[in-house]
Structure 1
C-alpha cells in the first residue's frame, strides 16, 4: 500500500490547472494521500506598470487564492484534506523547495505544456532543485491510468522504481511492463560481427535481469522487454515504445548521487521531460536518496 503523507500541486493560473487538479483527485481516489497543498507563487516584479495603474493596491494574493479555491471546489472537492498556499516571492524554485522541506512533501505534481506553448525552463529548474519525487503531467495526458511502463538500468535505483510501479499497478489494477534499453560497444566493430555482439549483449542482460528477479521475487511475473538503442538515444527508444504500447504512465528511478544538484537529474529524464510525450512522467527518488 502506497501512502503519501503530503503532496504538493503547483498551479500557474493557466488552462492546465483544472486538468491538473482533476488528475490529483484521481490519484487521491486510488492512493492513500493524507494532505494536498495547492500552491502558486506570484512574481510581483513581473507585473507591468499598466497593471499596477489599472488595479492599484488590489490584494492580489487574495484574488489568486479565491480563483484557486473555485477550481479546487469544482474539480477536487473534499476528497482529501487540503490547503491552498499563495506566496509572493521573486524566486519560484526557492520558495517551492522550501515548501517541500517545511511540509515534508513526498510528491510534487507539475503541469507541462507542449513545447510550442512554453519553453519548459521553470519545470526543468524545479526538477533539479525539488528535494522530493516529481510527477509531471502533460496537458495532453489522460486522467486515467490503465498501463504503466518502467524503464530500468538494472541498478538499485531501478529496483526502487520497479517496487513503486508494482505497488501502483496493484492499487490501480493496471498492467505493468518493465523495459531495458541497451547499447553495443561500437568501438569493437568490425572486429566482432554485429550479429554476435547483439546475441551476446542480450544474453548478458537477460541473465542480469534473471538474477534481479531471483533477488526480488515481487517482480518475477512482470512482463519484460529488451530493446537495443541502435542509432537512437535511450530516451528516444523509450518514447517510441510508449507510443507503440499505449501506456498511460511512465516511471523512472532517479539516482541523485551527484553532489551537485544541477547535475543530479541525468540525461535520460531531462530528455524525456523536454520531449512532447503524452503520458505522465513519475520521477522517483528513494527515501534514502532524499535524506
Structure 2
C-alpha cells in the first residue's frame, strides 16, 4: 500500500489554489496521507515601495495565512491532519527544499498554469532542486483518474516509477499501460532497409520487456506499447499517445544518477513539464535516490 508520510502543497495565491487544495483532498481520500503542509512564500522584495507603504503595519504573513485557512476550510476540511506554513524568504525554491528536508516530505503537489499564462520558470527550478517526488497538477486537469500511462526506458529510475504505478493502479483499481519510445540509428540507412531495422529494434525491445517481466513478476500482465520516435522527440511521442489513449495520469521517473539535484532531472521530464498537457504529471524519485547524500 502506498503511504505518504508528509505531503507539501505549494500555493501561490492565484485562482489555481482552490483546485490544488481540492485535488490534495482527493489524494488524501484515496491514499494514506499522514500529514499535509500547505505552504506559501512571500517574496517581499518583489513588492513595489508604494505598495509596501500602503500596507503600513499590516502583518502580511498573518493575512496570507488567513486567506489560505479559508481556502483549506472550504476545499479540504478535516480530511487529514494539516498545517499552514507561510514564510518571507527571498528565494522560494530554497525555502521549499529546506521544508522538504525539515519535515520529511515524500510528495510535493505543484500547480501549473498553461504556457500562455505563465513561463513555468519557478516550477522547473523546483523540479531540479526538490529532493522528493513531485505531482504536477495543470489548471485544466480533472480529479478523476482512471487510466495511467508510464513510459519507461528500462533504467532503474523508470522501473521504480513503473512499480509505483502498478501499486497505485492495484490499490485504486486503475487501468495501467506501459510505453517505450525507441529510435532507429538512421546513419545506417540506406545500408540496411528501414523495415528490417524496425523489425530488429522491436525484437530487441520485446526481449527487454520479457526480461523485465521475469524480474518484476507483478507487472507481467500489464499491457505495453512500442512507439517509434521517427521525426519527433520522446516527449512529443508521449504527448501524442496521451491524447490518443485518453489517459488521466502520466508517471515518469526522475533521473538520480548525479548527486547534484540540479543535474539530475532528465530531459524528458523537463520537456513534459513544459508541455501543455491537461492531466496530472507524477514525477517520481525512488527512495534510494532521495536518501543519496547531496554533494
In structure 2, the residue corresponding to 1:118 is in which secondary structure? Answer: coil
Residue 186, structure 1, aligned to residue 205, structure 2: no
Partner in structure 2 of residue 163 of structure 1: 163
| Structure 1 segment 189-208 matched on structure 2, within 5 A | 189-208=189-208
Superposed displacement of residue 174, structure 1: 1.1
Q: TM-score, normalised by structure 1?
A: 0.99
SS of structure 2 residue aligned to 1:251: strand
Residue 102 of structure 1 aligns with which residue?
102
Partner Cα distance (1:239, 1:41) in 2: 32
Aligned-residue offset at 1:52: 1.6
The aligned residue for residue 39 of structure 2 is: 39
| Partner of residue 74, structure 2 | 74
SS in 2 for 1:165: helix
Is the contact made by 2:248 and 2:279 (CA closer than 8 Å) also made in structure 1? yes
| Whole-angstrom distance in 1 between the partners of 2:255 and 2:62 | 40
Q: How does 1:89-128 map to 2 (within 5 A)?
A: 89-128=89-128
Alignment check: 8 A CA contact 1:145 1:172 kept: no
Contact 2:124 2:270 in 1 (8 A): yes
Equivalent position SS for 1:239? helix
1:254-288 deviation digits (Å, cap 9, x = unpaired): 12112332221111001000000111110001000
User: How far has the Cα of 1:53 moved from its partner?
Assistant: 2.2
Alpha-carbon contact 2:130-2:261 (below 8 Å) kept: no
- Greater shift, 151-160 or 236-245, is seen at 151-160
**Normalised TM-score (structure 2):** 0.97
- 2:174 paired residue number: 174
CA-CA distance at 1:55 after TM superposition: 2.0
CA–CA separation in structure 1 for the residues paired with 2:158 and 2:219: 11
Listed as ranges, the matches of 1:208-227 within 5 Å are 208-227=208-227
How far apart are the structure 1 equivalents of 2:105 and 2:55? 35
Is 1:249 matched with 2:213?
no
Gaps of 5+ in 1: none
Contact 1:184 1:201 in 2 (8 A): yes
Size of the alignment, in residue pairs?
A: 291
Q: Aligned with 1:83: secondary structure?
A: strand
Q: Distance in 1 between matches of 2:62 and 2:31?
A: 31
Displacement of 1:173 in angstroms is: 1.3
Distance between the aligned counterparts of 2:261 and 2:25, measured in 1? 31
Quote the Cα distance in structure 1 between the aligned partners of 2:57 and 2:192: 74
The question of whether the paired residues in 1 share the 8 Å contact of 2:131 and 2:261 is answered with no
Secondary structure (helix, strand or coil) at the match of 2:96 reads: helix
Contact 1:150/1:162 (8 A) holds in 2: yes
Q: Which residue of 1 aligns with 2:154?
A: 154
CA distance in 2, matches of 1:20, 1:190: 52
**1:136 corresponds to which residue?**
136
How far off its partner does 1:219 sit? 0.1
- Partner Cα separation in structure 2 for residue 88 and residue 52 of structure 1: 14
